[in-house]
C-alpha cells in the first residue's frame, strides 16, 4: 500500500504519518526533513527552503526524491509520503514515474485544519537542540517551556516564525490545495478532520485505508 498524507502546516501530518507507518509497517519519507538535510550541504537549498520559506523548482525536488527512493527503498512498495507532492505538476511527475515502474498511489490522506489554527500550532512548535525531538506549546507541551525531557534546550526553527508561516500557508493554498480536486477525481482521497485528538485521527485513517 502506497500512501500520501497532505494538510496545511500544523495539521499534524508528520505525527500521523509516523504513526500510520508504524501501524501498517510502511516506509516513511518526510520531504521537509529530507530537504533540510540536503540544505546542510547545499547553500542554495538552505537559502530557499530555510531562510525564505519558499519551494524548490518541481523538477529539482522530483530528481532529489526519486534518487533517494532508488537508493533507500527501490521496491517502491508500502511507503507513505509526508509533504510531497506539493503541486499538481509534482503529482503528475510522481504518478507517471510510479506507473513506469508498475506502481501507483493507493490513497491520499488529507488532514483538514483552519488557517488560524494552523498558524497557532506552527508558531508554537519547538525543536530540541540535543535530540531533535519536536514539541508543541499548544498540542504537545514539553515538561518545561524551554527544556526537553532529555534536558536539551528547545528552539524555534527559522521557518516557524509567524512571517514565514503565513507565506508558507499562502504557497500551500496556491499550489497544494488544487491537488485535492484531482485526488477526488482519481478516487483516492480520504479526508480526516485534523483538529481531533491524535489517537482519534489515527484510528480513522487506519480504518479508512486498511
Q: Is 44 within any annotated ligand binding site?
A: no
Q: Is 168 within any annotated ligand binding site?
A: yes
Pairing of strands 79-82, 2-6: parallel
Find the helix or strand (DSSP H, E) in which 98 lies.
helix 88-100
End-to-end CA distance of the chain: give it in Å, rounded: 9
The SS3 of residue 44 is helix
Q: Is 167 within any annotated ligand binding site?
A: no
Torsional sign, CA 189, 191, 197, 200: negative
Q: Could you tell me how far CA 76 lies from the centroid of its own chain?
A: 18
Q: Is 85 within any annotated ligand binding site?
A: yes
Q: Is 187 within any annotated ligand binding site?
A: no
Q: Is 125 within any annotated ligand binding site?
A: yes
Question: 204: left (phi > 0), else alpha (psi -120 to 50), else beta?
Answer: alpha
Q: Is 23 within any annotated ligand binding site?
A: no
Q: Is 191 within any annotated ligand binding site?
A: no
User: What residues contact residue 117 under an 8 Å CB cut-off, 6+ apart?
Assistant: 10, 195
Q: Is 7 within any annotated ligand binding site?
A: no
Q: Is 14 within any annotated ligand binding site?
A: yes
User: What residues contact residue 7 under an 8 Å CB cut-off, 6+ apart?
Assistant: 13, 110, 111, 112, 113, 194
User: What residues contact residue 108 under an 8 Å CB cut-off, 6+ apart?
Assistant: 3, 4, 5, 6, 183, 188, 189, 190
Q: Is 102 within any annotated ligand binding site?
A: no
Q: Is 13 within any annotated ligand binding site?
A: yes
CA atoms of 21 and 96, how far apart (whole Å): 24
Q: Is 90 within any annotated ligand binding site?
A: yes
Q: Is 15 within any annotated ligand binding site?
A: yes
Q: Is 54 within any annotated ligand binding site?
A: yes
Residue positions forming the annotated binding site: 10-15, 31, 36, 54-56, 83-86, 90, 125, 157, 168, 196
Residues making up the binding site for ATP: 10-15, 125, 196
Which residue ranges make up the annotated binding site for AMP?
A: 31, 36, 54-56, 83-86, 90, 157, 168
Amino acid at each position: 500500500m502506497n500512501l500520501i498524507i497532505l494538510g496545511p502546516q500544523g495539521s499534524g501530518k508528520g505525527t500521523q504519518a509516523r504513526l500510520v507507518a508504524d501501524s501498517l509497517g510502511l516506509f516513511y519519507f518526510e520531504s521537509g526533513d529530507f530537504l533540510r538535510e540536503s540544505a546542510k550541504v547545499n547553500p542554495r537549498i538552505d537559502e530557499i527552503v530555510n531562510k525564505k520559506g519558499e519551494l524548490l523548482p518541481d523538477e529539482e525536488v522530483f530528481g532529489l526524491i526519486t534518487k533517494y527512493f532508488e537508493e533507500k527503498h527501490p521496491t517502491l512498495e508500502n511507503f507513505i509520503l509526508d509533504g510531497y507532492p506539493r503541486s499538481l505538476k509534482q503529482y503528475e511527475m510522481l504518478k507517471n514515474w510510479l506507473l513506469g515502474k508498475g506502481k501507483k498511489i493507493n490513497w491520499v490522506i488529507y488532514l483538514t485544519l483552519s488557517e488560524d489554527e494552523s498558524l497557532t500550532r506552527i508558531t508554537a512548535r519547538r525543536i530540541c537542540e540535543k535530540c531533535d525531538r519536536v514539541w508543541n506549546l499548544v498540542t504537545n507541551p514539553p515538561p518545561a517551556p524551554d527544556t526537553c525531557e532529555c534536558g536539551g534546550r528547545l528552539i524555534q526553527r527559522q521557518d516557524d516564525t509567524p512571517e514565514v508561516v503565513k507565506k508558507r500557508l499562502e504557497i500551500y493554498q496556491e499550489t497544494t490545495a488544487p491537488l485535492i480536486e484531482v485526488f477526488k477525481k482519481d478516487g483516492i482521497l480520504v479526508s480526516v478532520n485534523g483538529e481531533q485528538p491524535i489517537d482519534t485521527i489515527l484510528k480513522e485513517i487506519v480504518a479508512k485505508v486498511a
